Amino acid sequence: MFLSVFDLFKIGIGPSSSHTMGPMTAGHQFLKELKDGQWPRPHNAKVTRIKAYLHGSLAFTGIGHATDRAVILGLCGYLPANIDPDKMDALLAKVNEEHKIRPTGHPAYDFDPKADLVMDRKVALPGHANGLAFEALDRDDRVLLRRVYYSIGGGFIVTEEELNATRVSGGKPPVDNNVPYPFASAKEMLEMSVKSGLSIAEMKRANEETRMSREELDAGLDKIWDAMRSCIERGLTQEGIMPGGLNVRRRAKQLHDRLNEEWRQNRHNPLLANDWLSVYAMAVNEENAAGGRVVTAPTNGAAGVVPAVMRYYLHFHDDADQKGIRDFLLTSSAVGGIIKHNASISGAEVGCQGEVGSASAMAAAGLAAVLGGTPEQIENAAEIALEHHLGMTCDPIAGLVQVPCIERNALGAVKAVTGASLAVKGDGTHFVPLDACIETMRQTGVDMNERYKETSLGGLAVNVVEC
pLDDT per residue as tens digits for the range 328-359: 999 999 999 999 999 999 999 999 999 999 99
Please give the Cα distance from 288 to 161 (Å, whole number): 31
Q: Smallest Cα–Cα separation from 27: which of 54, 56, 65?
A: 54
Q: Smallest Cα–Cα separation from 23: which of 96, 72, 76, 64?
A: 72
- Among 36-50, 73-87, 400-414, 443-457, the least confident range: 36-50
- If asked whether residues 449 and 319 sit together in one domain, one would say yes
Total domains in the fold of the chain: 2
Residues 106-136: pLDDT tens digits? 999 999 999 999 999 999 999 999 999 999 9
Residues 201-236: pLDDT tens digits? 999 999 999 999 999 999 999 999 999 999 999 999
Contact between 394 and 460 under an 8 Å Cβ cutoff? The reply is no
Last residue of a domain, one of 115, 139, 168: 168
- If asked whether residues 22 and 159 sit together in one domain, one would say yes
Per the domain annotation, does 411 fall within a domain? yes
- Classify burial at 400, counting beta carbons within 10 Å of its beta carbon; exposed 0-12, middle 13-18, buried 19 or more: buried
- If asked whether residues 216 and 347 sit together in one domain, one would say yes
Please give the Cα distance from 209 to 220 (Å, whole number): 12
Output the pTM of the full model.
0.92
Residues 370-382: pLDDT tens digits? 999 999 999 999 9
Contact between 130 and 345 under an 8 Å Cβ cutoff? The reply is no
Per the domain annotation, does 378 fall within a domain? yes
- If asked whether residues 137 and 256 sit together in one domain, one would say no
Looking at residue 163, its pLDDT comes to 86
- If asked whether residues 158 and 249 sit together in one domain, one would say no
- If asked whether residues 57 and 98 sit together in one domain, one would say yes
Please give the Cα distance from 396 to 3 (Å, whole number): 29
Which residue type does 321 have?
D
By DSSP bridging, strand 293-295 and strand 49-56 are: unpaired
Please give the Cα distance from 56 to 454 (Å, whole number): 10
Per the domain annotation, does 10 fall within a domain? no
Contact between 54 and 118 under an 8 Å Cβ cutoff? The reply is yes
Per the domain annotation, does 8 fall within a domain? no
Cis previous bond, 243, omega within 30 = no
Looking at residue 172, its pLDDT comes to 61
> Looking at residues 307-315, what average pLDDT do you find?
97
- If asked whether residues 313 and 214 sit together in one domain, one would say yes
Per the domain annotation, does 143 fall within a domain? yes
Looking at residue 174, its pLDDT comes to 60
Looking at residue 314, its pLDDT comes to 97
Residues 173-194: pLDDT tens digits? 565 679 999 999 999 999 999 9
124: three-class secondary structure by DSSP: coil
Per the domain annotation, does 174 fall within a domain? no
- If asked whether residues 450 and 362 sit together in one domain, one would say yes
50: CATH? 3.30.1330.90
313: CATH? 1.10.4100
Cα→Cα distances 394→47, 291, 351, 353, 399, Å: 39, 19, 5, 8, 10
* pLDDT score of 138 more than 70: yes
Please give the Cα distance from 362 to 368 (Å, whole number): 10
The 10 Å CB-count burial string (b at 16+, else e) for 70-92 is bbbbbbbbbbbeebebeebeebb
Per the domain annotation, does 2 fall within a domain? no
Contact between 25 and 154 under an 8 Å Cβ cutoff? The reply is no
Please give the Cα distance from 236 to 252 (Å, whole number): 6
- The alpha-helical segments, DSSP class H, found in 81-213 are 88-98, 113-116, 160-168, 186-196, 200-208
- If asked whether residues 191 and 46 sit together in one domain, one would say no
* pLDDT score of 320 more than 50: yes
- If asked whether residues 134 and 90 sit together in one domain, one would say yes
- If asked whether residues 277 and 389 sit together in one domain, one would say yes
> Looking at residues 22-26, what average pLDDT do you find?
97
- If asked whether residues 197 and 159 sit together in one domain, one would say no
> Looking at residues 289-303, what average pLDDT do you find?
97
Last residue of a domain, one of 138, 168, 198: 168
For residue 461, the number of C-alpha atoms closer than 13 Å in the C-beta half-sphere is 22
User: What does the H/E/C string look like for 371-410?
Assistant: CCCCHHHHHHHHHHHHHCCCCCCECCHHHCCCCCHHHHHH
Range(s) of the domain holding residue 390 = 186-466
* pLDDT score of 301 more than 70: yes
* pLDDT score of 259 more than 60: yes
> Looking at residues 380-399, what average pLDDT do you find?
97
Confidence of residue 467 (pLDDT cuts 50, 70, 90): very low
Distance from the first to the final alpha carbon of the chain:
47
Cα→Cα distances 305→83, 238, 396, Å: 24, 19, 18
Cis previous bond, 126, omega within 30 = no
> Looking at residues 304-321, what average pLDDT do you find?
97
